[in-house]
Amino acid sequence: MAARNPEEVLKEVRRIQIVARRQVNDLLAGEYQSVFKGRGMEFDTVREYLPGDEIRSIDWNVTARSGAPYVKTFCEERELTVLLAVDVSASGAFGSQRLTKMETAAEVAAVLMFTARKNNDKVGLLFFAEDVIRYIPPRKGRGNVLRLIREILAAEPVRAETNISRALEFIGRVQRRRCVVFLMSDFLGPDCSRALAVANQRHDCIAVTLQDPREAELPDVGFLTLRDAETDEILELDTRHPKVRALFAKAAADREQRLSGWLRRAGVDRLEIRTDQPYSRSLQRFFHMRERQR
């Protein structure tokens, strides 16, 4: 994905803003609030003790001052912190459809950010590849969301391998309070299941897996020269042979099996995004799945 000039970025921000708002209004606003919980219960007020109230909820200071028993009442702390951790390694620049994986990630991230903003949540952004590249701490507001969308659209792919574990370890250091982490990557890297499990104990981690159909199946188009965008390794294939196509498909199936195993062992939910399918349907399925789990 080539770097864009500022005018192109602003034009794309306006387009994505329209698309994202439509998705938020039509699909997700209510579902988002129902499936993502706040940080817990926070103190609301006190009221007079009533028969049947839990004795442990008595506010002894107020009781002593008033001469009558009073209890504390609590309400759910609705405000969330949402962090989008986006893989900007060079493999994200691949795409056989209208959008590359990274461009698709930008649109999905915009929908999630506008949804969070509609619920008055804080939103932050982290770019990573082999290591953390940039971190923008979570903040509230429309201006913050638009800035983050601009940052994603202006990001250039980094020629480096993906290391999700380092990104998660960084999040563990800078984000001490519980938050919702959308980890957006094609997960073409080393086993990160242990880091995922550790991060998911403190935070609510969601793996947003980005996939292009040409990574799983080769067409019969004769000789192909393939280059690994992250390592520059060159591979030449004769796609006319069914065995070659079958081996390619098997390698893709093995990768998928490994990824599913990582997420299952870590207890992390998956939001599967494919560049050849409308991501709105994937978002709907994911939110419905989360709602059923409650």
Asked if residue 138 lies in contact with residue 171, where contact means CB atoms within 8 angstroms, the answer is: no
Q: Is the pLDDT of residue 183 over 90?
A: yes
Of residues 181 and 290, the one with the higher pLDDT is 181
Place of tokens 């520059």: 232
Q: Which two tokens stand for residue 188?
A: 């073409």
Q: How far is it, in rounded angstroms, from Cα 287 to Cα 35? A: 7
pTM of the model: 0.80
Where does the pLDDT of residue 179 fall: very low under 50, low under 70, confident under 90, or very high at 90 and above?
very high
Q: How much is the average pLDDT of 128-132?
A: 96
Least confident of 116-130, 183-197, 219-233, 245-259: 219-233
pLDDT digits (tens, 9 = 90+) for 194-238: 999 999 999 999 999 999 999 988 888 888 787 777 777 888 888
The residues that bridge with 46 in the sheet, in sequence order, are: 72
Residue 288: which of 38, 20, 30 has the closest Cα? 30
Mean local confidence (pLDDT), 126-149: 95
User: What is the predicted pLDDT for the residue at 282?
Assistant: 92
Question: Using one digit for the tens of pLDDT, what is the confidence trace for 187-197?
Answer: 998 999 999 99
Give residue-wise pLDDT tens across range 3-52: 566 677 778 878 887 777 777 776 565 677 677 765 555 555 788 888 88
What is the C-alpha to C-alpha distance for residues 137 and 129, in angstroms, rounded to an integer? 18
pLDDT band at 2 (very low <50, low <70, confident <90, very high): very low
Q: What is the dihedral of CA 186, 187, 189, 191, to 10 degrees?
A: -170
Per-residue CA distances from 154 to 16, 129, 185 (Å)? 13, 16, 17
> Is-contact 272 211, C-beta < 8 A?
yes
Class level of CATH domain 6-34+78-293: alpha beta
Q: Pick from 5, 26, 9, 11: which is nearest to 278 by CA?
A: 26
Please count the CA atoms within 13 angstroms of the CA of 193 that sit on its side-chain side.
11
User: Domain map of the chain by residue range?
Assistant: 6-34+78-293, 42-75
The chain-wide mean pLDDT, for the chain, equals 86
Report which of 195, 191, 196, 185 is spatially closest to residue 271, judged by C-alpha positions. Answer: 185
